[in-house]
């Protein structure tokens, strides 16, 4: 009977350890998923913002062209049409860069920061811009991950949990925060 109880206790402790490991793995996967979801949301917002701004620029030039034509200012209308054509070509180019890059619009942002040279340098500039964009994204992800790790270490420290007057919760860690999940700074 005692052997059976010891076996049951041993099995229970193994099951508890397995459950603990699974909970940790689940927590890590949730954090990774959250970071990826934030990245996608940021990228989508940026894509929409870029599209909106580009469309507004094109719309403004088209309106100016229409006004020039109504005033019969043909040379001005021709210049505005050339400007419109250049804007559309530029926007198509940056959309192709964003679509073909793993870093998306971050690559375009990096590319446009140094877009002083001619188009002949694009083969060299685009990969470098993509590398910088990926490096910045990785740095941002690491910073976010480190802040959650530091928060969890702080939250689980002995002095912090004792500060909650023996409740097992830290200062300001009432139900409101438990329902929302982790606080990420």
In a domain, 140, yes or no: yes
Residue 163 resides in a domain: no
Q: Which two tokens stand for residue 22?
A: 């699974």
Q: Is 180 among the domain residues? A: no
Angle between helical axes of 105-113 and 122-156 (0-180°, round to 10): 120
Task: Quote the domain boundaries for residue 32.
Answer: 8-157
pLDDT tens, residue by residue, 36-53:
777 666 666 667 777 888
pTM of the full predicted structure? 0.43
Task: Answer yes or no: is 183 within a domain.
Answer: no
Q: Which of the residue ranges 10-14, 146-150, 160-164 would you say has the lowest mean pLDDT? A: 160-164
Question: Does 90 map to a domain?
Answer: yes
Note whether residue 37 is domain-resident. Answer: yes
| Residue 158 vs residues 79, 134, 170: alpha-carbon distances, Å | 71, 38, 10
Instruction: Give domain status of residue 44, yes or no.
Output: yes
With respect to residue 42, please indicate whether it lies within any of the assigned structural domains: yes
Which pLDDT band, with edges at 50, 70 and 90, does 111 fall under? confident
Cβ atoms within 10 Å, residue 124:
10
pLDDT at 12: 77
**Domain count within the chain:** 1
């Amino acid at each position: 009977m005692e052997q059976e109880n010891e076996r049951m206790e041993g099995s229970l402790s193994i099951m508890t350890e397995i459950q603990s490991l699974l909970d940790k793995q689940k927590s890590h996967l949730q954090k990774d998923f959250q970071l990826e979801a934030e990245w996608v949301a940021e990228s989508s917002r940026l894509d929409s913002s870029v599209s909106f701004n580009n469309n507004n620029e094109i719309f403004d030039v088209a309106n100016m062209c229409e006004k020039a034509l109504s005033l019969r200012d043909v040379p001005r209308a021709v210049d505005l049409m050339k400007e419109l054509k250049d804007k559309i070509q530029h926007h198509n180019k940056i959309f192709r860069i964003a679509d073909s890059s793993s870093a998306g619009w971050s690559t375009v942002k990096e590319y446009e920061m140094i877009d002083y040279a001619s188009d002949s340098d694009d083969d060299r500039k685009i990969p470098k811009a993509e590398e910088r964009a990926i490096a910045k994204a990785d740095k941002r992800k690491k910073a976010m991950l480190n802040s959650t790790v530091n928060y969890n270490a702080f939250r689980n420290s002995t002095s912090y949990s004792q500060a909650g007057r023996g409740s097992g919760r830290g200062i300001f860690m009432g139900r409101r925060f438990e329902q929302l999940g982790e606080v990420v700074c």
